[in-house]
Structure 1
Amino acid sequence: MNRKYPPVSNKLPVLMHGADYNPDQWLHDPSILIEDLRLMKLAGCNVMAVGIFSWAALEPSEGRFEFEWLDNVLDSFAANSVYAWLATPTGARPAWMSEKYPEVLRVEPNRVRNLHGMRHNHCYSSPVYREKTSIINGMLAERYGNHPAVVGWHISNEYLGECHCDLCQESFRHWLRDKYETLEALNFSWWTSFWAHKYSTWEQVVSPAPHGESGVHGHNLDWRRFVSDRTADFCRFEVATVRSTNPELPLTTNMHMIESLDYRKLAEEIDVVSWDAYPTWHDKKDDIGIGYYFAFYHDLFRSLKRKPFLLMESTPSATNWQSVSKLKRPGMHKLSSLQAVAHGADSVQYFQWRKSRGSSEKFHGAVVDHVGHENTRVFRDVADLGRTLSSLSEVVGATTPSETAILFDWDNRWAVKDAQGPRNSGIHYEETVIAHYRAFWEQGIPVDIVGSQEALSSYKLIIAPMLYLCREETGQKLESFVENGGTLVTTYWSGVVDERDLCHLGGFPGPLRKTLGIWAEEIDALHDHEVNGVVLPDGNALGFAGIFESRELCEIIHLETAEALGYYVDDFYAGQPALTVNKLGRGRAYHMATRLDNEFLSAFYRQIVVEADISRALDTELPEGITAQVRTDGSSDYVFLMNFGGKPCSVELDERTYIDMETGEPTGKHLELPVYGVRVLKRAN
């Protein structure tokens, strides 16, 4: 069975390798472009993202356009077999626009309008900003939509932020009217009878503000949804301004780890997902933790469309904005780059190609340093990676065979953090999700990160950590999943509120109560210094026993149809169930009533993987810090074996035959991985 997508662009049917390129910063020195083209070839770079912040160079004053410099760049690319992701320049607008049309500037939550400056400091509702965007984007599309060097559109740059101006307030009210239709429905959904905050006219409804309304959770949740929808609407508008000249050109917009936007909304507007990854390698010597943390986000962005994505930005050396911007140690550049490819990336690209000479990112890592030549450690690392990527072209388009999914919803994330519940000092939602993910990363098991409103029936195992916001339909979907033979794992603080952020009545975990077979009566919050424990007695159904630490939250539950597997050790609820399983139809559902440590999660998921018959990338035990990831085209599997453990390590392969894709030679059964080592292996599917 073919399990391969076509390349993002038929012009470049290989792994893309390149960087953000800013030739508009070097127009005073034409020799720079000539030298850059020589260096791009040396580095094995075949694509550049061009024009991302070039509006002022393209339109230096209103209505006066200068495209000759960009003509020269793209023509030179075409003559040298270098390609371009051509950007719409809307991530930052020129000063003349802010001066003449101040309405384009954003208004902050405190209702003060910003001055000119920074990025994305503009209002997506502004008719003027949309008009100016349409003009510049349309001219770029007309001039370059069929240029041989252009492989696709890079729409804006890292959309983020929100505006609270009068235009956005009116747009918010229209959005609410479309959703609720009547004020009565809005008041009920937001529970505005609390503190007598009931609205009597639509004009009274405004966005949350630090000096106004901020404690109505349904209000806060809908505002965040509106901001996501408004951002997606602006992206859709930008896409329309460039699409018509050449509908075959793929479009992307680079995303980042930004909590304020629901990226599933944004992903609907583009053809291929791309994201910008900046790990803090070598922080506290915890490269294992950073490894699985960024593996989770690679899988999240891949899962937005469940097909290969692009790594649009990373750094070839250090950033300049992290609290401590450390250099990558030898070997880490190749390892971290191929980690992205292992999890579904069909590109490795950097910010940036050549270091800027001034301003806020002049010390941000780049392929070409201020010294200006190729005789640097970083350039050699990039060139070495370029040679490796050129040997992996057949991986392009290969998919990730995931039988396991983790539920991760943005509105649940927002609601959890806004809950004002048992632990306002920190409920650690993302940390909890990633702790569960880690147990699969350690075993080399591919995982999709999906939303609760997506199709789930193709999976064998679903993990739903802290599914606090649980819709009735989500509960019904998970119930059917288990009845039909699936395995579900949930945790404390699940099934508490619905999509309006209103508490479920009739007992928690709300829509999950039948599936889990429990009733959660109370939840106890522990201080950071407090520890409880969970004991699994000998002979339990999981096959392992012992006492495991639990922290932060302890849910006090009653068994209905479920069976207890583990019990609390301390406090007034000692001896009560803390880990349960409920058999329903042909499947089963597990519930962890407390936050359990990594030792438990590792042991637990090893048993669940066997029980659910989940395949691993390699049928072998992986040493600590070693992980494996697999992509497949249906006839061949491509296995990435990666060492994040900080020391050399040996790995015994399973009984299948493997070829090293860099050398073309058989591997044998025993592999040595140096510090930060990575091997890419091929086997028959």
Structure 2
Amino acid sequence: MTSSAPHPGDLIRDKIPYGGDYNPEQWPRAVWDEDLAAFKLAHIDTLTIGVFDWALLQPDEDTYDLTVLDEIVETAAGAGKRLVIATATGAMPPWLAHRHPEVCRTDFEGRRHVYGQRHNACPSSPVFRRLSAALADRIAQRYAGHPALVAWHVGNEYGGACYCDTCAAAFREWLRVQHGSLEALNDAWNTTFWSHRFTDWEQIVPPNALSEHWRGPNHTAFQGITLDYLRFTSDAMLANFVDEKAAIRRYDATTPVTTNFMGMYRPIDYHRWAAHLDFASWDNYPPDDRAHARMALTHDLMRGLKDGAPFWLMEQTPTMTASRDVNPVKRPGVMRLWSWQAVAHGADAVLFFQMRQSRGACEKYHGAVLDHAGRTDTRSFREVAALGEELKRLGDAVLGARTPARVALLFDWDSWWAAEITDGLNRHLRYPDVVMAYHRALWQANAGVDVVPVTADLSGYDVVVAPLLHMIKGDVAERLEQVAARGGTVLTTFLSGRVDEHDNAFLADVPGPLASMFGLRVEETDAQPPDVVNPVRLADPDDDAAAGASANAAGASAEAAHAAEAGVVTSEARLTFEVVIPQGAQVIGTYGADFYAGTPAVTRNRVGDGGEAWYVATSLDDAGVEWVVRRILDRHGLVGPYADVEDLELAVRAADDGTRTAFLLHHGREPVDVTLHAAGTDLLTGQEYAHGQTVHLEPTDVLVIQERPESS
């Protein structure tokens, strides 16, 4: 599917933008020239400006003063920099909270906050909506059409929630639109339970600690109302974005508009936002220095928001964050490696937060391109400059290029919310952990993966992986069955197919609408603490039969006995254990302990014209997940050439003319020697490589090889 919406590719055709968030208003004017000279050394060409300038640009409700921003724009543009201009509404100013205290958020405990922090405004407040849109209007009117402008940046890292009376009223109006009538709402929320049937819209209040509180903010007595409030909150903040984008569009119909997402961020359903952004962008701050597989998943998720179109890496740190309990510095080569990983997965921009370290407040120790002294002889600056040189050398080679994939992984915020807010399962279970386990197995196997919503067109994929698809919405069950019916493979896991879009259980055997495709029913669901392990023996009966035949022919020799066990793995399963009754499905894995020992833990059902549907009834460890995923990929010829080299990543971007650029990224801790899958030219060094050539890779090494078609 193509889109006619504006995209940075319409304006930027020479190279991947490189730079980041710049706040010169925080430093004396004399520093600006020093900064720009340093940026030139680092080949930095793109700056995001004005993100947190509301109080500076609007000192009171009736006064606007864009003088400082004017000077920043003209100074940066005069130095040849491309500009991403923000609407300056990332945090509201003190005067707004002082004059209109109702704009401050009310928390889950029912406390109205005083001014502070940055996610600090009620998204439903008419005052906030009016004034934030008005500021966006002034900024857009001033800078629309500026020759240095390449994108608009609305707000900043939207997030959090409010439970005030204004939000309560807005929630009721949202519910009227979503459900249409109180009768439909009562049915959706199953309010006859505990005599909660509503007879007037005014009786409905937000599900906070003073109403539906049930062992914590993620566990309320009525999951339906909690689920709807999560959806409402996401939509309320989206309305703020839409307000400001509309203000921009009054003056500028063509420059693309975005806001910076935060990857797998629970409070906001980015799929609900995707259509309103002209391009996706996100801020990458991984939890530790071994999060490369997690980052691959999140890059794929961000790319999937816009049907595979390139996204922007809007923020990352050159060195360290300032928000963790422990904030390690990125080791030599890691910033470069992770930047190229983003490009490999579809990033068409590599930007940092921040360009110069803040002199005070909570992010004064957050890493930056320039430290407090503004030095250009530090290790981190040299690495930034070296990456800038490489991106300059790359030029436009991958700008706009897509990432081909024959595997889809479904990611669904509704399933995430529903599985984690419910009672009766296992509160140690985390939706992202389950998704990451399956994505990591795909990633390690070098399989090209699109991470897509449950509404996505699945017709182009050979394999669809749907971990913990707890909620079945729309026609997703039918579309999954179509994948298997035409010869593809579908995989899902425990706790899938449990509830409808309102979080009500299906009045049918588990897994509900998925049961017939997977050829089984789930009779019971056991949950255990994290330290309880149930060993699961995984063995494909087809392989066993073949190995057994060989063993008989050889007179059951020791070698044949060993062959009979080839491909057998024992996986440590935890947390959730479904008791499965096959109804046509073939048993692939069995539990080794408890009263359900010997019963199915993993099954495979034959579907349609050579298709398969795999069901994993428990939370396997990484080795078990990899065993299952590899068998599925191998059936479709999708296991990549470096699948058995730990932490060696292969990703490909393909241009419209068919040119393929392969990225080989070594995240491992030890050097490796590998045989190249294709011939081509390394776009970073100019070195020519032959198909089958052995290359030596040190940790953090990167190859960017433009493949020669005849070698693919």
Aligned match of 1:101:
100
Deviation at 1:484, TM superposition (A): 2.2
Corresponding residue number in structure 2 for 1:660: 682
Matches within 5 A, 1:336-355: 336-355=338-357
Shift of 1:44: 0.8
Q: TM-score, normalised by structure 1?
A: 0.95
How far apart are residue 12 of structure 1 and its match?
5.5
Counterpart for residue 233 of structure 2: 227
> For each residue in 1:322-344, what CA deviation from the matched residue of structure 2 results, as whole angstroms up to 9, or x when unmatched?
12100111111110111111111
**Corresponding residue SS for 1:13:** coil
User: Greater CA deviation, 105-114 or 29-38?
Assistant: 105-114
Equivalent position amino acid for 1:260 in 2: P
Secondary structure of 2:170's aligned partner: helix
SS at match of 2:542: coil
Question: Does the CA contact (< 8 Å) of 1:399 and 1:632 recur in 2?
Answer: yes
Deviation for aligned residue 1:623: 1.4
Q: After TM superposition, give the deviation of residue 346 of structure 1 in Å.
A: 0.8
| Local SS of the residue matching 2:9 | coil
- How much does 1:11 deviate? 4.4
Partner of 1:470: 472
- Over 3 Å counting, the alpha-carbon distance change for 1:142 and 1:538 in structure 2 is closer
Corresponding residue of 1:124: 123
Distance 2:295 2:514 in 1: 30
State the distance in 2 between where 1:324 and 1:621 align. 33
Structure 1: distance between partners of 2:281 and 2:372:
28
1:334 to 323, 333, 336: 336
Query: What does residue 182 of structure 2 align with?
Result: 183
Q: Deviations 1:434-488 (Å, cap 9, x if unpaired)?
A: 1111111112112111111221111110111111112362212212222122210
In the alignment, the residues of structure 2 paired with residue 470 and residue 408 of structure 1 have an alpha-carbon distance, to the nearest angstrom, of: 12
Distance 1:82 1:354, change over 3 A: same
User: Structure 1 runs of 4+ off > 4 angstroms?
Assistant: none
More off after superposition, 212-221 vs 470-479: 470-479
Which is worse superposed, 346-355 or 448-457?
448-457
CA–CA distance in structure 2, aligned partners of residues 563 and 147 of structure 1 = 64
Q: Does residue 1:675 correspond to 2:699, yes or no?
A: yes
Q: In the alignment, what sits opposite 1:241?
A: 247
For the pair 1:638 / 2:645, whether they are aligned, the reply is no
List aligned pairs for 1:112-261, cutoff 5 A: 112-213=111-212, 214-257=220-263, 258-261=265-268
259, 262, 274: which one aligns with 2:281:
274
Superimposed CA distance per residue, residues 292-346 of structure 1 (whole angstroms, 9 cap, x where no aligned partner): 0111111100110121000000000011111210011111111011111111101
d(CA) in 1 for partners of 2:540, 2:42: 59
Aligned partner of residue 395 in structure 1, secondary structure: coil
Q: Residue type of the partner of 2:45? A: N
1:641 Cα offset (Å): 0.8
Aligned to 1:480: 482
Any idea what SS the aligned residue of 1:556 has? strand
Question: Are 1:418 and 2:421 matched, yes or no?
Answer: yes
User: Are 2:633 and 1:609 equivalent residues in the alignment?
Assistant: yes
Residues in 2 aligned to 1:472 and 1:575: alpha-carbon distance in whole angstroms: 36
Contact 2:540–2:588, Cα closer than 8 Å, also in 1: no
2:327 aligns to what?
325
C-alpha separation between the residues in 2 aligned to 1:511 and 1:621?
34
Shift of 1:395: 0.9
Rounded to whole Å, the distance in 2 between the matches of 1:39 and 1:130 is 39
Matches within 5 A, 1:585-596: 585-586=608-609, 587-596=611-620
- Once the 2 structures are TM-superposed, how far is the Cα of residue 94 of structure 1 from its aligned partner? 1.5
* Percent of pairs with identical residues: 39
Q: Shift of residue 7 of structure 1?
A: 4.8
* SS of residue matched to 1:540: helix
The question of 1:262 aligning with 2:269 is answered yes
2:634 aligned with 1:627, yes or no?
no
1: distance between equivalents of 2:9 and 2:169?
A: 39
Counterpart CA distance in 2 for 1:134 and 1:548 is 54
In 1, Cα distance between the equivalents of 2:60 and 2:651? 51
CA distance in 1, matches of 2:495, 2:419: 9
**Whole-Å Cα distance in 1 between the matches of residues 185 and 25 of structure 2?**
49
Aligned to 1:59: 58
- Counterpart of 1:14, as a letter, is K
Shift of residue 614, structure 1, vs aligned partner: 2.6
Distance across 2 between alignment mates of 1:539 and 1:133: 63
User: Residues 280 and 325 of structure 1 are in contact (CA less than 8 Å); yes or no, is this contact kept in structure 2?
Assistant: no
TM, length-normalised to structure 2: 0.91
Q: Which moved more, 1:468-477 or 1:413-422?
A: 468-477
**Contact persistence 2:83–2:151 (CA under 8 A):** yes
Aligned pair in 2 of structure 1 residues 536, 374: CA closer, same or farther (>3 Å)? Answer: closer
Q: Does 1:396 align with 2:383?
A: no
Change beyond 3 A, Cα 1:606–1:682: same
Moved more, 359-368 or 592-601: 592-601
Alignment of 1:529-568 (within 5 A): 529-537=531-539, 539-541=541-543, 544-568=567-591
Q: Is the 8 A contact 1:334 1:381 kept in 2?
A: yes
Shift of 1:620: 4.5
**Take 2:133 and 2:622, find their aligned partners in 1: how far apart are those partners?**
51
C-alpha displacement at 1:637, in angstroms?
1.1
User: Would the aligned equivalents of 1:12 and 1:151 in 2 still touch at CA under 8 Å?
Assistant: no
The separation in 2 between residues aligned to 1:177 and 1:219, in whole angstroms, is 13
Residue aligned with 2:276, SS: coil
2:20 equivalent to 1:19? yes
**1:491-535 CA distance string (max 9 Å, x none):** 111111111111111210001011101011101122222221222
- Count of aligned positions: 672
CA contact (8 A) 1:550 1:596 kept: yes
Q: C-alpha separation between the residues in 2 aligned to 1:538 and 1:518?
A: 18
**Structure 2: how far apart are the matches of 1:266 and 1:441?**
26
Name the CA shift for 1:328/1:249 in 2 (closer, same or farther; >3 Å): same
Judged with a 3 Å threshold, the aligned counterparts in structure 2 of structure 1 residues 517 and 541 are, in CA distance, closer, same or farther, namely: farther
Structure 1 residues 122 and 6: CA distance shift in structure 2, 3 A: closer
Which moved further from structure 2: 560-569 or 299-308?
560-569
CA drift of 1:370 comes to 0.7
- In the TM superposition, residue 615 of structure 1 has moved relative to its aligned partner by 6.5
* In the alignment, structure 1 residue 503 sits paired with structure 2 residue 505: yes
Q: Specify whether residues 471 and 135 from structure 1 end up closer, same or farther in structure 2 by C-alpha distance, changes over 3 A only.
A: closer
Structure 2 letter corresponding to 1:199: F
CA contact (8 A) 2:294 2:436 kept: yes
Q: 234-243 or 75-84, which moves further after superposition?
A: 75-84
Question: Could you tell me whether the CA contact under 8 Å between 2:7 and 2:278 is conserved in 1?
Answer: no
SS in 1 for 2:207: coil
Q: Which moved more, 1:129-138 or 1:498-507?
A: 129-138
CA distance in 1, matches of 2:335, 2:329: 10
User: Displacement of 1:420 after TM fit?
Assistant: 1.2
Q: Distance in 1 between matches of 2:699 and 2:235?
A: 44
Identify if the C-alpha distance between structure 1 residues 477 and 605 changes in structure 2 by more than 3 Å, giving closer, same or farther. Answer: same
Determine if contact 1:7/1:397 at 8 Å carries over to the other structure: no
| CA contact 2:569–2:627 (8 Å) conserved in 1 | no
Tell me the distance in 2 between the aligned counterparts of 1:265 and 1:413.
Answer: 14
Alignment-mate amino acid for residue 510 of structure 2? F
Deviation at 1:541, TM superposition (A): 4.8
2:562 aligns with none
**Distance in 2 between residues matched to 1:564 and 1:615, nearest whole Å:** 23
What is the Cα deviation at residue 548 of structure 1? 2.6
Residues 1:579 and 2:606 are matched in the alignment: no
